[in-house]
Chain A
């Protein structure tokens, strides 16, 4: 199985801050990497697919980059509705695996 790790596991930030979350795969996954946002009590929501493509309807303050084993999700200016947990997920091979999540809360 491909193991996914994320850092940090949690972070505190203020509205307007630039936030960067890192995801690392245990082997090269090319650009088969997706990012999801999960608010408490809700289903995950797709933000970024194929490492850097913004899902339709997702604000442009979200961006993704990387390939191979190292990826980043950046929120350029944190908004109140962005306080949530973020997961990366590899779609390179089965079993599809998710990172453990990064919780973003209010500073």
Chain B
């Protein structure tokens, strides 16, 4: 059973870079069926997909954030990471890592990490 756990600073200053890591356990991060993803949720609001990375190295990002986002993979540590640059208060959110899984012609997000709140403030 794959499990995900986010880690990283809970407070980031405006204009700096937000950096989070997701550790994958209970399964191989190199499994071909998974696209390792980041999703965020602004306080009291809905869910926004940020992007994903496949173990082939291919990535896909939400165009709304693409200019500021990098998602990378470290298979030796079973981790994938999110970097979001030039943050503002609008980037304050709970950040989730999730596995975007492909099977039988369909895709879905499962499982999810517990989420980590990142606040952008000076």
Name the contact of A96 in the complex, choosing from B49, B105, B114 (C-beta under 8 A): B49
B107 contacts A101, C-beta separation under 8 Å: no
CA of A100 to CA of B109 in the docked complex: distance in angstroms?
A: 17
Range, interface on chain A: 20 to 34
Residue of B nearest to A31 (CB): B106
A43 in contact with B46 (CB, 8 Å): no
User: Please, how many angstroms separate the alpha-carbon atoms of A82 and B48 in the complex?
Assistant: 23
Kindly list chain A residues whose C-beta atoms are within 8 Å of the C-beta of B106: 31-32, 49-50, 53, 91
Which residues of chain B from 82 to 122 have a CB within 8 Å of any chain A CB?
96, 98, 100, 104-115
A34 within 8 A of partner (CB): yes
How many pairs of A and B residues are in contact by the CB < 8 Å rule? 59
Cβ-defined contact, B46 with A94, below 8 A: no
- Mark contacts of B42-53 with chain A using CB atoms, 8 A cut-off: 1 yes-contact digit, 0 otherwise: 000011110000
Known: A94-B60, A95-B62, A95-B63. A89 touches B47 (CB 8 A): yes
Q: Is A19 an interface residue (CB 8 A)?
A: no
**Quick check: B110 and A46 within 8 Å, CB to CB?**
yes
Task: Using A43-B98, A95-B63 as known contacts, list a sample of 13 further A-B pairs with CB atoms less than 8 Å apart, ordered by residue number in A.
Answer: A34-B108, A36-B109, A43-B112, A45-B112, A49-B110, A50-B104, A50-B105, A50-B108, A91-B100, A94-B62, A95-B49, A95-B64, A101-B46
22 contacts between A and B (CB under 8 A): A31-B106, A32-B107, A36-B109, A43-B96, A43-B98, A43-B113, A45-B112, A46-B108, A46-B110, A49-B108, A49-B110, A50-B104, A50-B106, A55-B110, A87-B47, A89-B108, A91-B107, A96-B49, A97-B49, A98-B46, A98-B47, A98-B49
Binding site for B on A (CB under 8 A): 1, 31-32, 34, 36, 42-46, 49-50, 53, 55, 87, 89, 91, 94-101
